[in-house]
């Protein structure tokens, strides 16, 4: 498929599910072409949801972050792994309790679904990205899981991208608990189809009419493939072009950055 034909096929989509880290920004730095892409989505009346594996911020906080970067996107355009985790637990075990290692946004999402904090005998130990990770919390989580609490990860990502490099993400932070307890975590974020199902519900679109845009082969792209969506891999995040060859599946399209969609 020629490049112009490829871009026309992407632009013709009714809806877009987009990652954020490595797609729209690195940390607090807006990526080249991100403003043009977001403004194009709004101008063309496209349906779009930013579907992020990061549980560190609420949709309102993500909206404010983009506002500081010069982009006006309302909170209803965001869906986070914290929200997906809370929705999953509320469906599985209404009124359950959890010991949480994570930022305030994760605890708030759980609280909003009627899941309350418990560090004595919780039903679940829930972990998401956090900068307050420490040995004391790790020791507590291990004891609770060994005592019968189920282990839940907001996402399986092992690293996250910042403006200065990479940082350990949930998959890395939860690994010591898995090793010490012999229990495997259940991860709710991408590539779990639960996340994409919520995204599609927010869009109100059929999967064939949606493009998934992301920078990770092992979360974004595989999730889109398994949900029957056209997938767009961006090389602006954690994946290099040569990395694609090491996976047994391929995205439909590979672009340098999100701005290439609307050039």
Residue found by looking up tokens 């090389």 in the block: 235
**Which one of the listed residues 19, 123, 215, 220 is annotated catalytic?**
19
From residue 5, alpha-carbon distances to 35, 45, 128 in Å are: 23, 21, 40
| Residue among 130, 203, 211, 110 nearest 170 (CA) | 130
Please, which residues have CB within 8 angstroms of residue 33's CB and are 6 or more apart in sequence? 257, 258, 259, 260, 262, 263
Verify cis geometry, omega within 30 degrees of 0, for the bond prior to 191.
yes
**Which one of the listed residues 21, 123, 220, 260 is annotated catalytic?**
21
157 is catalytic: no
19 is catalytic: yes
Measured CA to CA, the distance from residue 223 to residue 106 in angstroms comes to: 22
Asked if 49 contacts 199 with a C-beta cutoff of 8 angstroms, the reply is yes
Alpha helices, H only, the chain: 3-11, 34-43, 59-68, 81-92, 104-112, 135-146, 170-181, 193-203, 222-226
The helix/strand count (H/E) of the chain reads as 9, 15
3-state secondary structure of 224: helix
Residue 94 CB burial class (10 angstroms; 0-12, 13-18, ≥19):
exposed
Measured CA to CA, the distance from residue 149 to residue 98 in angstroms comes to: 8
Active site residues: 19, 21
């Amino acid at each position: 498929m020629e490049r112009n034909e490829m871009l026309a096929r992407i632009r013709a989509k009714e809806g877009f599910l987009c990652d954020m880290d490595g797609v729209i920004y690195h940390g607090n730095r807006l990526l080249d072409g991100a403003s043009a892409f977001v403004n194009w989505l709004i101008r063309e009346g496209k349906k779009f949801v930013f579907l992020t594996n990061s549980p560190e911020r609420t949709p309102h906080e993500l909206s404010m972050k983009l506002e500081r970067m010069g982009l006006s996107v309302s909170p209803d355009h965001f869906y986070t792994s914290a929200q997906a985790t809370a929705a999953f637990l509320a469906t599985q075990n209404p009124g359950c309790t959890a010991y949480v290692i994570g930022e305030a946004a994760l605890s708030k999402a759980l609280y909003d679904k009627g899941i309350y904090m418990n560090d004595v005998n919780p039903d679940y130990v829930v972990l998401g990205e956090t900068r307050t990770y420490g040995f004391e919390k790790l020791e507590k989580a291990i004891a609770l899981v060994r005592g019968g609490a189920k282990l839940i990860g907001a996402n399986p990502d092992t690293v996250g991208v910042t403006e200065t490099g990479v940082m350990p993400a949930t998959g890395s932070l939860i690994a010591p608990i898995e090793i010490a307890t012999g229990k495997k975590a259940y991860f709710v974020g991408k590539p779990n189809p639960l996340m994409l199902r919520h995204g599609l519900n927010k869009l109100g679109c059929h999967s064939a009419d949606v493009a998934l845009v992301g920078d990770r082969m092992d979360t974004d792209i595989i999730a889109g493939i398994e949900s029957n969506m056209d997938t767009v891999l961006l090389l602006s995040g954690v994946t290099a072009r040569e990395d694609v060859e090491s996976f047994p599946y391929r995205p439909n399209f590979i672009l340098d950055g999100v701005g290439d969609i609307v050039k």
